[in-house]
Amino acid sequence: MNLTGLLSEALNSDTVSQISQQIGADEGTTGNAIQAALPMLLGGLANNSANETGASSLLGALDRDHDGSVLDDLGGFLGNFSSGPGAGILGHIFGGQQGTVEQGVSQASGLDMGKVGPLLMMLAPIVMGALGRTQREQGIGAGDLAGLLGGATQQMGSGSPLMDMLSSVLDRDRDGSAIDDVAGMIGGFLGGRR
């Protein structure tokens, strides 16, 4: 199964229901926020793995911490997400741009800004778990991670009215795609840190 298939399977209606209970939001709004957040997470990871150093570092994290086992007990993970690796993963993916991404997801989905952070903390380990499992099952090397993630980002984001709205919020260069802008913001942050 490919990455987007794994994510769709993991984030089924039961999972969305559980996430919505955890963050105290209705299921429809939670589902919309998940649809808006996934391409941002995948796009951020794609951007981070676009160079050799970033790709090797991501592959190392997958080998070390993200074998996909989180997908086998999502209920257990979601019940205890705040002690999980979500915040750390988000720091790596978005760095100082996390607030901008949260704002975009909130505006696109109508989810209260204060609930977007916890939502992202739940989604990040699920995305990393799905990526880790896909990487293992398909034998994907560091050099192929950016392509895999880029393709999944496009697949998740295409044709979604939410993505269109999110794009208009985050599309700084007005080229119709927010992915490059978010990637640029993230890249700028990461570039400045090295």
Q: Domain total for the chain?
A: 1
In the predicted structure, residue 170 carries a pLDDT above the cut 70: no
Mean pLDDT of 6-28: 96
Q: How does residue 182 score in pLDDT terms, banded at 50, 70 and 90?
A: low
Q: How does residue 136 score in pLDDT terms, banded at 50, 70 and 90?
A: very high
**Residue length, the chain?**
194
Q: Which alpha helices (H) appear in the chain, and where do they start and end?
A: 3-10, 13-23, 27-48, 52-65, 74-79, 86-94, 98-109, 113-138, 142-157, 161-170, 179-193
CA 9 to chain CA centroid, nearest Å: 15
Torsional sign, CA 138, 133, 115, 183:
negative
Residue 157, Cβ density class (10 Å: 0-12 exposed, 13-18 middle, ≥19 buried): buried
Predicted pLDDT at 14: 96
With H, G, I as helix, E, B as strand and everything else as coil, classify residue 84: coil
Distance, in Å, from the CA atom of 121 to the CA atom of 100, rounded to the nearest integer, reads 15
CA dihedral 143, 147, 152, 154 (to 10 degrees): 160
pTM: 0.85
Mean pLDDT of 158-167: 62
CB 121 within 8 A of CB 84: yes
Predicted pLDDT at 186: 45
* Of residues 166 and 123, more confidently modeled: 123
Predicted pLDDT at 187: 45
Question: How confident is the model over 82-132, as pLDDT tens digits?
Answer: 999 999 999 999 888 899 999 989 998 999 999 999 999 999 999 999 999
Interacting residues of 27 by C-beta distance below 8 A, sequence separation 6+:
13, 16, 17, 20
Q: Which alpha helices (H) appear in 49-97, and where do they start and end?
A: 52-65, 74-79, 86-94
Q: How does residue 183 score in pLDDT terms, banded at 50, 70 and 90?
A: low
- The secondary element (H helix, E strand) that includes residue 194 is none
Q: What residues make up the domain containing 111?
A: 3-193
Question: How confident is the model over 23-59, as pLDDT tens digits?
Answer: 999 999 999 999 999 998 998 999 889 999 999 999 9
